[in-house]
Amino acid sequence: MVRKTAKLEARVTEVLKRLDAEYGADTKCYLMHENAWQLLIATILSAQCTDARVNMVTPGLFRKYPSVQAFADADIRELEQDIHSIGFYHSKAKNIIACCKMLAEVYHGEVPRTIEELTLLPGVGRKTANVIRGNIFEDPSIVVDTHVKRISKRLGFTDADDPAKVEQDLMKILPRENWIRYNIQIIYLGRTICKAPTPRCEECYLKDICPSSSSRS
């Protein structure tokens, strides 16, 4: 567990300031959607896949299946073909159909709000639940994906490997109003500069304050 100190608080403040300067304060979700259930399905599809690839598939997918009930009634083999290019299509098709059946039967086609209810849905873990909470219901939440975990550790914001523990560490040191924004900004940083396994530290605007930077003088 990382101890909250004055030095850490100062680093957090400066990191957040620079993230806002670089990316702005926009909290728009990169996954294309028009409503809660579309974002839920898009987020399930995005596991081990880029948002760009998901966005290539979902417009046609949502035209073919225009409602929760349409997905609940879908033929699994046909749905697998529809999402084949996204990867892991067997498990994703199975989870989407089961998830939509539960939404239709238990929640009358609506997406529930609480993390407890969301994580009961097939294929929905804390990460997906927090995407929905933050982007649909505007409930402050921290989505710990591979980028957020990796970069938060490099910044010294957490020393945990378990996503739930990383989430708890970040909630303790980040201002609540920055939670959603931090997710989006860090994911973009991870895709462009702070990559795994080799970060491009010499290009990073955080290199002088990042404890893990190879470019610190």
Q: What stretches of the chain show up as alpha helix (H) in DSSP?
A: 6-23, 36-45, 51-64, 68-72, 76-82, 89-106, 115-118, 126-135, 146-154, 163-173, 179-192
pLDDT at residue number 78:
98
pLDDT at residue number 152:
97
- Measured distance CA(191)–CA(149) in Å, rounded: 13
185 touches 24 (CB < 8 A): no
User: Would you say domain 36-135 falls under CATH 1.10.340.30?
Assistant: yes
Per-block mean pLDDT, blocks of 10 residues, the chain (217 long): 89 97 85 97 94 96 98 98 97 98 98 97 94 91 93 96 94 94 92 93 96 78
Query: Which are the catalytic amino acids?
Result: 127, 145
pLDDT at residue number 66:
98
Say which CATH class 6-27+144-203 falls into: mainly alpha
Domain with CATH 1.10.340.30 in the chain: 36-135
Domain with CATH 1.10.1670.10 in the chain: 6-27+144-203
